[in-house]
């Protein structure tokens, strides 16, 4: 039996573990092109309506792999939503030079948080990735793809609108993010091919049905919530993730030294995310 077969056989049913342990409630937020719901925080006590709290991460290896994949993606969507707000400021026709510097810095800092989340999401063994995560995405759709993420698609659009007007700090954060993404991809999928490529698909041909499929798979529910509710949920989930990596730290042999070292900084980038959410919700 190969290691992968042994691993699969030892998980009596990976799908069962996935559905019984470490449940995460849906991430509720508006479409990236829609504004947050208006509310008066003091009168409505809106944060109490943040919904069901997420449960702590499970211990079982496959269930933990799934939990990290889902929680990491929820937080990445949150990060992208924050970045979109800063990009909107940057693209305002009368954005002052000092506001532009501040917005670009915030977007760069959030790219580092996204890089930390890539390492967290993809921190399982390659065998668990294949048995628990890739197989479930493939079962949902043969070409299942990260390019279907609505928020990320919009970020790419706004960054293209911004053109060459990005500073070095932001360029470096984006470059490092690509390196982390590729390193995670190479470790989890040795041939490096995404499901999209493997099934002969072409990036950039996303349909609304694909975008809905991504939301549905990752338990993302498009709802008219206010920004305080989203902020409360994000802080709650980052706290769970920080507890999780304090218990089972990220210590993976990546083929790139900078990526390997960055694992030590993951908790501090996630703590920074809590601060960024706090500032953003009162913008
Ligand atoms: C760890 C969590 C991951 C997240 C949050 C994520 C997210 C994304 C997103 C948003 C995109 C579209 C934008 C872009 O090109 O950056 C994308 C594209 C891509 N991802 Fe990931 N990804 C993850 C893991 C992986 C893994 C494990 C692989 C392994 C094959 C992979 C391979 C790719 C490839 C090759 C693309 C380019 C489009 C394509 O060729 O399909 N990603 N990913
Ligand atoms: Zn509110």
Encode pLDDT of 51-72 as tens digits: 778 888 998 999 999 999 999 9
- The Cα–Cα gap between 145 and 197 comes to 9
- Inside any domain, residue 62: no
Residues ≥6 apart with Cβ < 8 Å to 181: 118
Ligand 1 atom with the shortest distance to the CA of 119: 1
pTM value is 0.92
Q: What is the pLDDT of residue 192?
A: 83
- Inside any domain, residue 6: no
277 band by pLDDT with thresholds 50, 70 and 90: very high
Q: Helix (H) and strand (E) counts for the chain?
A: 13, 2
Ligand 1 atom with the shortest distance to the CA of 121: 1
| Domain encompassing residue 152 | 71-281
- Cβ count within 10 A of residue 141: 18
Six-digit token pair at 79?
Answer: 């990060």
Ligand 1 atom with the shortest distance to the CA of 195: 41
| In the predicted structure, residue 20 carries a pLDDT above the cut 80 | no
| In the predicted structure, residue 12 carries a pLDDT above the cut 80 | no
2 band by pLDDT with thresholds 50, 70 and 90: very low
Nearest CA to ligand 1 atom 13: 147
- Residue with the bigger pLDDT between 48 and 231: it is 231
Q: What is the pLDDT of residue 47?
A: 72
- Inside any domain, residue 34: no
Query: What is the number of alpha carbons within 13 Å of residue 183 lying toward its C-beta?
Result: 25
- Inside any domain, residue 25: no
- Inside any domain, residue 17: no
Nearest CA to ligand 1 atom 21: 146
16 band by pLDDT with thresholds 50, 70 and 90: very low
- Inside any domain, residue 45: no
| In the predicted structure, residue 273 carries a pLDDT above the cut 90 | yes
- Inside any domain, residue 103: yes
**Number of domains present in the structure of the chain:** 1
- Inside any domain, residue 115: yes
User: Environment class of residue 23 by beta-carbon count within 10 Å: exposed (0-12), middle (13-18) or buried (19+)?
Assistant: middle
Q: What is the pLDDT of residue 21?
A: 45
- Which of 8-17, 37-46, 105-114 is predicted least confidently? 8-17
Q: Residue 230 Cα, ligand 2 centroid: separation in angstroms?
A: 9
- Residue with the bigger pLDDT between 225 and 5: it is 225
């Amino acid at each position: 039996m190969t290691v992968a077969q042994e691993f699969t056989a030892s998980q009596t049913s990976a799908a069962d573990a996935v559905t019984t342990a470490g449940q995460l409630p849906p991430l509720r937020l508006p479409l990236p092109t829609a504004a947050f719901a208006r509310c008066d925080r003091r009168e409505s006590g809106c944060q109490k309506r943040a919904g069901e709290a997420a449960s702590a991460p499970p211990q079982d290896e496959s269930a933990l792999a799934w939990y990290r994949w889902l929680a990491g993606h929820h937080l990445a969507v949150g990060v992208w939503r924050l970045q979109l707000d800063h990009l909107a400021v940057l693209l305002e026709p009368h954005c002052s030079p000092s506001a532009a510097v501040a917005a670009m810095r915030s977007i760069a800092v959030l790219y580092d948080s996204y890089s930390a989340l890539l390492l967290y999401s993809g921190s399982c063994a390659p065998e668990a990735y294949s048995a628990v995560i890739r197989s479930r995405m493939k079962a949902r759709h043969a070409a299942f793809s990260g390019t279907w993420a609505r928020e990320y698609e919009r970020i790419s659009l706004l960054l293209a609108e911004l053109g060459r007007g990005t500073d070095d700090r932001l360029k470096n954060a984006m470059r490092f993010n690509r390196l982390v993404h590729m390193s995670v991809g190479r470790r989890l999928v040795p041939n490096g091919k995404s499901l999209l490529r493997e099934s002969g698909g072409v990036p950039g041909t996303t349909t609304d049905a694909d975008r809905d499929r991504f939301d549905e798979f990752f338990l993302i529910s498009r709802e008219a919530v206010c920004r305080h509710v989203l902020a409360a949920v994000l802080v709650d989930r980052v706290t769970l993730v920080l507890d999780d990596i304090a218990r089972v730290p990220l210590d993976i042999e990546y083929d790139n030294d900078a990526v390997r070292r960055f694992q030590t900084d993951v908790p501090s980038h996630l703590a920074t995310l809590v601060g960024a959410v706090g500032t953003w919700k009162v913008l």
